[in-house]
Amino acid sequence: MIDSFLTPLFLDLLGINILLGVSWYIPASCGQFSFGHCGLIGVAAYLSGAMTTLLGVPFPLAILAGMGISSLAGMLFSAIGLKSKDAYAAIMTLALAQIAVVAFKAIPATGGVMGFLVTPKVTPGIVWAGVLISLLFTYRLESSRLGRTFEAIKTSNKVSATLGINATYFKIIAFGIGGAMAGLAGVLYAHCISWIEPHTFAVWLTVTSFTFVLLGGWETMWGGVAGAILLTFLLEVMRFASAWRPMIYGVLIIAVLAFRPTGLVTRGNVRSAGRFFSRINRFMLRNR
Amino acid sequence: MIIQQIANGLMLGSLYALIALGYALVLGILGIFNMAHAEIFMSGAVIGWLIISKWHLSLPFAIPIVLMSGAALGLMTEFFCVRRSVRAGSYFVPVATTIGFGLILTTVVANWAGTNPLPISVSFQYTQVRFGDASFPLANIIVLLTSFIVLGALAYYLRGTPFGLATRAVGENPEVSQLLGLNTTRIVQLTFAISSMIGTLSGFLFGIMAGAAHPYMGEVAGLKGLCLVVIGGMGSMTGAVIAAFIGGVAEVMTSVYWEVKYADGVLWFIMFLILLFRPLGLLGKAEELQRLQ
Amino acid sequence: MLEIKDVTKNFGGVSAVSHVSIKVEKGEIRGLIGPNGAGKSTLFKLVSKVLKPDGGAISFDGAVITGFPSYRVARLGIGYVFQDSLLFGGMTLFENMLVCANTAVNSGLLSLIPLYQGKEEKRLKERVRDVLEQFNLGTKAEFYPRQLSYGDQRRALIARTVINGASLFLLDEPSAGMNAIEREELSKDILEMRRQGHTIFIVEHNLRLIMGICDSISVLNFGKLIHEGTPKEVTSNAAVIEAYIGTKNG
């Protein structure tokens, strides 16, 4: 069984899932729920796939292009949605996703409904390089002033406004960053599974992304990571029941949120872990 | 010809109006998006398949079964997904848990009945009714009439009955309503039950109209319903209904006069435009949005 | 410093604030009192732009602010501390104080670059420490809000607004829920703020607190301004007494 955990495919998917979780977490960290995440992912996937396979563009460039377009799309659609308050921003991203799928089906060059084959295949090395860079970036973000501002906005729009914080501006930034990360995930995903079709980027991807975060813990970035790791392993172990996967997700969401609404990894957990590690650090330095 | 298409659009719109109302009811009273509504809609169609194609019951028996299963599903949704989180004051957790519930419904149906369309054939499946040059399937006309009946009944309920008044009170201010002696839990349950009854009914009607049921049909139609609620404006049921009729006509026009493959995206595009120029939706009120912060 | 001119706000058919004109001078402590429902909180919300007025104009330091969104008004120097205000529970007291739009220290994407802020950040932290000392909260800087007493939390909210660079403070019932000792602390803090040149506009139900610190008081009833004057004048004014005794909340 251990062998199935070490296949390149599994390692790729694990890394990509972590990216999905963290990319969903970033807008969520300032209170914004991206329900069109699959659209952001899909747009980057299709663009990158088309660029490398149909136009022969080198892969690194395609990655950047994918991240760019997802970032822009995220910012655009959230900006429009935020004109009418947060709840609509979430729905706007949903609109993006739906329009994207229709667009994908309609473009003949990429195979329409049937989809197409995407050429350069990623290695786990590339995927995990991306994952590590993103995790580092997000970690830096969380502990910076920007991260603190996000948290303030998540706690209360109104109170933040009285401190002079323009919530809309920061939420758009969050969508820009989260979008770019989702784009990275999308590109890597496309070049991992190789055959992409419009249906791949239907609502299910959004559900997986936020399940990772809501289950794993939405207070800190590590929740998304934990949720992604947990669920990826869980589903690999339960491969025989893959037909029931959506239901398992559904039951988990309801159960976990009923008993531990903040998700599994809370801010307290992260802080305790931080103290634990720093104590070990001091101990080891003392015994040098 | 164009009149026929407009009429077709209105009939589709009447179905969308029912779906949208299901969302709008819960949204208006609790400020929650019941994302399981799409799957409840689908369940209605599947129940229609059960009743008609498997059990061969006649239609008068079908309606009560459909309504009761709707109520049951609604109560389950309220119990598992909503009660705890609303009391905790959280507005996004119910969105996630209702999505979860929807996933459960979809998977159960898909695994039990298969992922192929389940045929539903009624005796009047192919009957057409003529109005001058235009002809419409009888099934569609029945859907239109039922929609109006339901809309009328709901409007009467909300405005004319004490329960309806209580529901509106809870929607406005749950704390004060409790202090006035209203049992808010019961009212929430009732609202969910009604919303889901409308959901299964509309699914059932859609199944008859389309002649088939399918485990994934909820996704597309249900999400469109949500889109229409937003176009109509937060917290406005009338707005949702108007948006639904406009949307139905728009979709039919797009598929007839442009290309069928764009029809699914048209509603979202309209929503995009409307939010751009009128961020509150057609009949939305600013105070409603405050509540959702 | 703050000029409210003929401002009106209607909710449906009810006039919450009706043609109210108030002028608050720089450096004074102005009280706003009135029976429940008189429109005091609404007036504050109109000034801090949480709500938009239906009529009239508001200007701050000579500039008209009627069309501005609330965060912009906050950046101009109006610090609004309202009843449901809260400290951010996930951060320590010290971190709470650092969250603000102090434009000298950037909060945008550039803040991600380590060391970019260097000196500015240091200066801000110094200022935070000073203000916390001023409010007697210096020793509690590393506590989380839930570990602080209620009185400390409410005063910390005011401290946070001071650090944000506000020059006009709108305090909506700051002493609600405090005991007598905490209220004394609050009075001292407000007087100290006035000594530093700030202007304070305060809504309060606790008349002893108001009479003790205010230079002048405006009285609202049913959305209208019914009297203005020094604390002594106001307590002996017939219309004011009638407004308070004539209502059930006396």
Per-residue pLDDT of chain A (288 residues), as tens digits, is 556 567 788 888 999 999 999 999 999 998 888 888 999 999 999 999 888 888 888 888 989 999 999 999 999 988 888 876 666 777 788 888 888 888 888 887 777 777 777 778 888 888 999 999 999 999 988 888 888 888 888 888 888 888 888 888 889 999 999 999 999 999 999 998 888 888 888 888 888 898 899 888 888 899 899 999 998 888 888 777 778 888 888 898 888 888 887 888 888 788 888 888 888 878 777 765
Cβ atoms of C111 and C117 within 8 Å: the answer is yes
Residue of B nearest to A241 (CA): B111
Q: Do A94 and B226 touch (CB under 8 A)?
A: yes
Cβ atoms of B250 and B266 within 8 Å: the answer is yes
Task: List, in sequence order, every beta strand (DSSP E) within chain A.
Answer: 116-117, 195-196
Q: Which residues of A touch B272 (CB under 8 A)?
A: 80, 92, 95, 99
Model-level ipTM above the cut of 0.85: no
Candidate from A148, A156, A267 with C-beta closest to C86: A156
pLDDT tens digit sequence for B81-130? 887 766 655 667 788 889 899 999 988 988 888 777 777 777 666 677 77
What's the pLDDT at A183? Answer: 94
CATH of domain A2-286: 1.10.3470
Q: Do A162 and C108 touch (CB under 8 A)?
A: no
Residue with tokens 């992260």: A270
CATH number, domain containing residue C95: 3.40.50.300
What's this model's pTM, rounded to 2 decimal places? Answer: 0.82
Q: What domains sit in chain B, N to C, each tagged with a CATH number?
A: 2-291 (1.10.3470)
CB atoms within 10 A of CB C188: 14
Q: Do C98 and A167 touch (CB under 8 A)?
A: no
Candidate from B230, B259, B264 with C-beta closest to A88: B230
Q: Do B292 and A85 touch (CB under 8 A)?
A: yes
Q: Do B230 and A33 touch (CB under 8 A)?
A: no
For chain B, how big is the Rg over CA atoms in Å? 19
* Domain range for C185: 2-245
Asked whether residue C96 is domain-assigned, the answer is yes
Q: Report the relative pairing of strands B118-119 and B128-131 from DSSP bridges.
A: unpaired
Asked whether residue C32 is domain-assigned, the answer is yes
Provide the CA A40 distance to its chain's centre, in angstroms.
10
How many structural domains comprise chain C?
1
Q: Does A228 touch chain B (CB under 8 A)?
A: no
Asked whether residue C129 is domain-assigned, the answer is yes
For residue B112, CA distances in Å to B43, B105, B115, B116, C55 come to 13, 11, 9, 11, 63
For residues B142-154, give the mean pLDDT: 85
Candidate from B92, B103, B223 with C-beta closest to A246: B103
Contact partners for chain A, using 3 or more CB pairs closer than 8 A, are B, C
Q: Do C164 and A165 touch (CB under 8 A)?
A: no
Q: Which residues of C touch A137 (CB under 8 A)?
A: 112
Residue of A nearest to C101 (CA): A164
Candidate from A80, A157, A203 with C-beta closest to B275: A80
Ordered alpha helix ranges (H), B55-161: 59-77, 83-87, 93-113, 138-160
The sign of the CA dihedral C111, C114, C119, C125 is positive
- How much helix, strand and coil, in percent to the nearest 5, is found in chain B? 75, 5, 20
Inform me whether the pLDDT recorded for C68 exceeds 70: yes
A positions 155-214 inside 8 Å of B (CB): 157-158, 202-203, 207, 210-211, 214
CA distance C170 to B230: 36
Task: List, in sequence order, every beta strand (DSSP E) within B158-264.
Answer: 212-213
Nearest to C30 by CA among C225, C160, C250: C225
Q: Do A85 and B226 touch (CB under 8 A)?
A: no
Q: In angstroms, what separates the C-alpha of A214 from chain B's closest C-alpha?
A: 8
Residue with tokens 């604390």: C231
Q: Which residues of A touch B218 (CB under 8 A)?
A: none
Q: In angstroms, what separates the C-alpha of A77 from chain B's closest C-alpha?
A: 9
Q: Which residues of A touch B293 (CB under 8 A)?
A: 85-86, 157-158
Asked whether residue C173 is domain-assigned, the answer is yes
For residue A135, CA distances in Å to A30, A139, A278 come to 18, 6, 20
Residues in chain B: 293
CA distance C177 to C23: 29
Domain coordinates of chain A in residue numbers?
A: 2-286
Asked whether residue C250 is domain-assigned, the answer is no
Q: Does A250 touch chain B (CB under 8 A)?
A: yes
Candidate from A144, A151, A164 with C-beta closest to C101: A164
Cα angle B89, B32, C51 (rounded to 5 degrees) comes to: 70
Q: Does A151 touch chain C (CB under 8 A)?
A: yes
Taking one residue from A and the other from B, the number of pairs with CB-CB distance under 8 angstroms is 122
For residues C132-161, give the mean pLDDT: 87
